[in-house]
Copies of this chain bind each other. A is one copy, B any other.
Amino acid sequence: MARVRPLSGYPEWTPAQRVVESAVIDALKEVFTLHGFAEIETRAVETVERLAGKSEAAKEIYTLTRLNADGDADARLGLHFDLTVPFARYVEEFQNELAFPFKRFQIQKVWRGERPQEGRYREFYQADIDVVGRQSLPAHLDVEVAVVMARALAALPLPGVTMRVNNRRLVEGFYRGVGIDDIAGALRSVDKLDKIGPDGVRAELVEQQVPETAADAILELARISAPDASFVNAVEDLWATTTTVADVADAEAQLREGLAQLVALVQGVNAAVPGTAIADLRIARGLDYYTGSVYETFLDGHEDLGSICSGGRYDSLVAGGGFPGVGMSIGVSRLVSRMLGAGLVEATRAVPTAVLVAVTDEETRAASTAIADALRGRGIATEVAPTAAKFGKQIQHADRRGIPFVWFPGSEGASDEVKDIRSGDQVPADAATWEPPAEDLSPRIVPAD
């Protein structure tokens, strides 16, 4: 038979790699849960109408067809490409059963029908948290969401991360103050700074009828960054020299509101997880619906990955208005793939099993099973040898599976013994009391060799 080939864009892990992915997901869940976020799961499908609402993403939707469709009037369905669209629909659908502010986390796979040659993932895990109010939502939740994500990332076996934060009100106030009308258009250009550089952005802005002085002011604003409140002076200085609008009161009020929120955010995150946040006024986030704080997060030394955890504050989760919120999303599969691919981490073993109970002969298999059950009853993952081969073979079997301990049932009144097959140490042991060292109880995630 021809060897089975992997499908491009659909990552799959070996059991040992899945231990890493699973540990990452569990660590995220634990942090989210400790902060009071409830888990939901949404179905994988939405109507195409709802998914395609955002025209840009529409390119990437996988639609579903029943192989033997018989002309029934099915709604046209597609796989969700993120967890925000389904969350918005869920909140709308279940609003009468939810208590607001509603804090939820959601860790699920999403699908994107990307062109295969781009080498992007077509199926991957995202981990999202959002807090959504019904009519309003206090600004301090912008800090809380960022702190929770900073702690979640700190709980993973990663190099440090840097969370680059900005504020749309600040930016919008500033842009209005320098006389820009199409703020969304200007933001989309600034979002391309990394790709096309300041000259490219400037050219795009000028093409959008942005005055050259305003374009320069915008690019100057985007150069400001600081790990503390010191960016405020820089913004104020720039503001003082670049505002061109006659009546700047409204724009300035908006700018100052944004400045205060950004100060609270960068200080709040760094107080909780020191050294994580930087106010970086170039962070734009392309999406139109953000209205306040915006976040991007980079893995130190792996900035080429792009942002591993992004999000922001929005005024309205649903099309009809209402439900303001703030949320962030981790690209789990991309992160895990880098952790594995760059050799940052590995699992100590591919199986949950701590102990293999040897079988002396098939007649006494039940005795070996009883030992295994005694160990399992105390939370120690245990297997019984599949065959009563020579003990050397059974030890080899444990070694091949990565099981650290082999247990030998005592015969004729002799005590049971347990061997650490890594060191070769073998000692008498009682299944009612023996414990493996804590670090051997379950597979652990460790730096790769």
Contacts and interface: CB of A to CB of B under 8 A. Distances in A.
A346 B352 CA distance: 30
A318 interface: yes
A113 to B, nearest CB: 4
A438 interface: no
A382 B74 contact: no
Interface in A281-321: 318-320
A425 interface: no
Interface in A1-27: 1, 3-7, 10-15, 18-19, 21-22
Contacts of A104: 15
Given A37-B352, A58-B67, A116 B4 contact: no
A113 B66 CA distance: 6
A58 B66 CA distance: 9
Contact of A320 (B1, B35, B45): B1
A11 B40 CA distance: 12
A289 B94 CA distance: 43
Interface stretch (A95-103, A337-345, A410-418): A95-103
Contact of A36 (B47, B92, B133, B383): B383
A62 B72 contact: no
Nearest to A387: B138
B376 A35 contact: yes
A37 B350 CA distance: 10
A232 interface: no
A45 B10 contact: yes
Contacts of A21: 41
Interface in A81-99: 89-90, 92-94, 97-99
Given A1-B318, A352-B38, A381-B35, A67 B61 contact: yes
A363 to B, nearest CB: 12
A422 interface: no
A396 to B, nearest CB: 10
Interface string A44-63: 11011000100000111111
Contacts of A133: 386
Contact of A351 (B7, B19, B38, B69): B38
A64 interface: yes
Nearest to A114: B66
Given A123-B45, A382-B35, A115 B72 contact: yes
Contact of A15 (B22, B40, B65): B40
A14 B379 contact: no
A43 interface: yes
Given A15-B39, A44-B109, A72-B116, A382 B67 contact: no
A195 interface: no
Contacts of A14: 94, 97-98
Contacts of A116: 72, 74
Contacts of A140: 365
Contacts of A70: 115
Nearest to A78: B67
A223 interface: no
Contacts of A67: 48, 52, 58-63, 78, 113
A12 B43 contact: yes
- Which 10 pairs show the lowest CB-CB distances between chains A and B? A66-B113, A36-B383, A36-B353, A1-B320, A4-B93, A61-B67, A10-B43, A33-B352, A15-B38, A34-B376
Interface of A: 1, 3-7, 10-15, 18-19, 21-22, 33-45, 47-48, 52, 58-70, 72, 74-75, 77-79, 89-90, 92-94, 97-99, 101, 103-104, 109, 111, 113, 115-117, 123, 133, 137-138, 140-141, 144, 272, 318-320, 350-353, 365, 373, 376, 379-384, 386-387, 397, 400-403
Given A60-B66, A62-B64, A137-B386, 12 more contacts: A1-B92, A4-B92, A10-B43, A22-B39, A35-B383, A36-B351, A45-B123, A60-B67, A64-B64, A66-B113, A99-B400, A144-B384
16 contacts: A4-B89, A12-B41, A14-B98, A18-B38, A33-B381, A36-B351, A36-B353, A36-B382, A38-B351, A44-B44, A63-B67, A64-B65, A65-B65, A72-B116, A99-B402, A101-B386
